[in-house]
Amino acid sequence: MGDESQSSNPITQLPGYSIARSLAVRRGRRLEYLTLAWNSAEGICSLIAGLLAGSIALVGFGLDSLIEISSSLVLLWRLRAEANPREREHAERRAQRLVAVCFFLLAAYVAFDAAKGLILREAPRESLLGIGVAISALIAMPLLARAKRQVARQLNSGAMQADSRQSDFCAYLSGILLAGLLLNLLLGWWWADPVVALIMVPLIAREGVEWFRGDPCCE
């Protein structure tokens, strides 16, 4: 009976489609759903903490979560096209460029927020909730990024690889946020957070350019 259901499944009958690839797609979807859930909670907590503490850095970190949610939605759309080889190639190219756009939005946000913080001398204020959010993201995001890269290699998906880099940059930004909160709290270095953030802007933008061009994945 199991053989009949498998043979009647149009997905498993498509050329080039394997059980291993099917499992990789399922894992990729689970990772993206997990990313959506995490970033939704992270964004809400960051916005609440930022508004309560009057911290522009925390509010900005919450807005960054919206960009990552957009990237995950793009990847879920890309993975839905996996079963059809023709649609897969087209969806891969479009998804890769859409994720690249998310990088550009992220770079623009970081540049604006950091420049505004320097000009207005906006120091991140003490917030235990904000520190907790930053520490949690600093732990969770690298794990998510590594898992996504494994799926990207299995599917040879540049879009998934680019999305893993989004998770990497979320970890970097959480580290910057945490350092800014602690340095301002302990040493009064209000400028540390925006200065380090500005250094990251060209790195984020370069990632966007590379993925928009369609640089090869998993070489």
pLDDT digits (tens, 9 = 90+) for 158-206: 888 888 988 898 898 888 888 877 887 788 787 877 887 788 788 888 8
Structure tokens at 95: 């998804």
H/E stretch holding 14: none
Can you give the pTM of this predicted structure? 0.72
Helices (H), 81-191: 85-120, 128-155, 158-187
For the chain, domains (ranges, CATH) are 26-211 (1.20.1510.10)
Asked if residue 210 has pLDDT above 70, the reply is: yes
Instruction: Tell me what the mean pLDDT of segment 127-131 comes to.
Output: 82
Q: What is the pLDDT confidence band of residue 1, given thresholds at 50, 70 and 90?
A: very low
Asked if residue 8 has pLDDT above 70, the reply is: no
Instruction: Tell me what the mean pLDDT of segment 113-117 comes to.
Output: 83
Asked if residue 141 has pLDDT above 70, the reply is: yes
- Do 144 and 171 contact (CB within 8 A), yes or no? no
